[in-house]
Structure 1
Amino acid sequence: MAEPVRILCVDDETNVLRALERMLLDYDYELLTATSAAEGLELLGKVEPVQIVISDYRMPVMNGVDFLREVCARWPDTVRIVLSGYADTAAIVAAINEGEIYRFVPKPWNDEELKVTIANALERYQLHKHNAQLVEELRNSNEELRLMNENLERLVAERTAELSLRNRVLTASQNILDALPVGVLGLDTEGTVVQCNRIAARLLEVACDEIVGCGAGEVLPPEVRAFVDELAEKKTSLCRVPVGGARVHTRGVYLKTGDQEGIIVVFDGEGCE
């Protein structure tokens, strides 16, 4: 819902205020009137927003310059217009500069020209307000982006630290496996080799990096392949000796822990030294 358009007219001459009221009678404006600067400031403090203030230049106690300067300081978005029959050019310039006046309209004014000035002033107010809203939205968007970037940087840092820890754990696990005095071979449920330590690779006469990722049928001797097939079928623990011509015990177990499932084969014996 659009906010109501309010115009405050301030003049110590009541006939001027009535003339302004008659001029704007056919418009959908809420017209406020005051006969002094003090009364005008009081109205501005009670009713918001007031889009336009039209003030006489020469008024007792507080003149138009002082009044509009105060309006500018307290309600900077309000568009300020001066009406005056005072023909002192220097005073007019001072009023425009000090009160940041939008327009100076001489008395007596031309009704049509003043109506156009008011319409332009209202358009200026709405444009300024719209721009301020865009700036605020942009500021909020920038703040959201800043927070998102901070969260992303934090998540990346956490993920990097997590991956680094996992890499260290995997390296340590492989080093531990390679240091064991037994051969260890791991296969998934599809029969693909997923783990092989140094001794197992030596017994099978392959390199560790060559066997991992290969199918059991490609790299394992027939007797070991048959042993693995039996483990997969029975899903239990078995022990067989020997492996080929080596005096090596072959033990196996079907592993199922949580989501992890597969076969572990261990080669142990004199051939593993």
Structure 2
Amino acid sequence: MSRILIVDDEISILKALQRLLRVAPCVYGNKQFSLEVVACEFPSEALKHARQGEFDLFISDYRMPEMDGIEFLKQARALQPDAARLILSGYADLNALVRAVNEVGIERFIGKPWNDYELMSAIAQALAHRELLLENRQLADLVRVEMGDKTAEQIEAERLERLEPGITRVNWGPDGSVVLDDDN
């Protein structure tokens, strides 16, 4: 099941997207994706969800009162760098599009009002591309282990670090003890 987080300050847009994603097939080639959708009206609420659980795809409106979609996606990427990212916007601002590609690495910029088929196709392509990137990383890691460039333990530590940043770092005290609380 692919998890998608949508953030848009317009409730009607969120409801329309949820309805579409519930009934329309999400297919790329011979791969069909079943979707679980989390919808948020505010970027801060969406970031809380991103801190609590893993998502395969973030879809964000561009213009929102709390923060723009690019800033939201930058923060979401910092939390979950492997998730795909799309911007859905009624404003066709070329500078915003360039900024989104350069700063956030979005997969697509989709205009409002959207064509249902094109939106579902873009979502399926983004999810398939993400799966391919993750599979390529796994294969490259296997080759690195086989070649002796990395150990299986190093690969696992990198995987854990991607899931929980900071989990593989240990703070040592001057006496050789492990420091659990830096607040002293």
TM-score of the pair, normalised by structure 2: 0.72
Question: Does the CA-based 8 Å contact 1:14-1:35 persist in structure 2?
Answer: yes
Describe the superposition over 1:118-160 as per-residue Cα deviations: whole angstroms up to 9, x where unpaired. 11011101101101111221222223899xxxxxxxxxxxxxx
Matched, 1:12 2:36: no
Match of 2:22 in 1: 25
Matched, 1:58 2:63: yes
| Structure number with higher relative contact order (C-alpha < 8 Å, ≥ 6 residues apart) | 2
Deviation at 1:41, TM superposition (A): 1.0
Which among 88, 94, 100 is matched to residue 83 of structure 1? 88
**CA separation in 2, counterparts of 1:13 and 1:90?**
23
Match of 1:154 in 2: none
Amino acid at match of 2:116: D
Alignment RMSD (CA, Å): 1.7
Amino acid at match of 1:143: G
Which among 61, 64, 71 is matched to residue 76 of structure 2? 71
Distance 1:100 1:144, change over 3 A: closer
Which among 39, 48, 53 is matched to residue 42 of structure 1? 48
Amino acid at match of 2:45: E
Gaps of 5+ in 1: 147-273
**CA separation in 2, counterparts of 1:45 and 1:142?**
36
Which among 83, 98, 101 is matched to residue 93 of structure 1? 98
Deviation at 1:81, TM superposition (A): 0.2
**CA separation in 1, counterparts of 2:150 and 2:64?**
52
Higher Cα Rg, which structure:
1
- Work out the number of aligned pairs and report it: 142
Describe the superposition over 1:201-256 as per-residue Cα deviations: whole angstroms up to 9, x where unpaired. xxxxxxxxxxxxxxxxxxxxxxxxxxxxxxxxxxxxxxxxxxxxxxxxxxxxxxxx
Q: Tell which deviates more after alignment, 132-141 or 31-40.
A: 132-141
Match of 1:103 in 2: 108
Amino acid at match of 1:92: L
- What percent of counterpart residues are identical? 43
Amino acid at match of 1:12: D
Amino acid at match of 1:44: A
Amino acid at match of 2:36: E
Tell me the secondary structure at the aligned position of residue 108 of structure 1.
coil
Describe the superposition over 1:70-112 as per-residue Cα deviations: whole angstroms up to 9, x where unpaired. 1222211110000001122112211221111110000000000
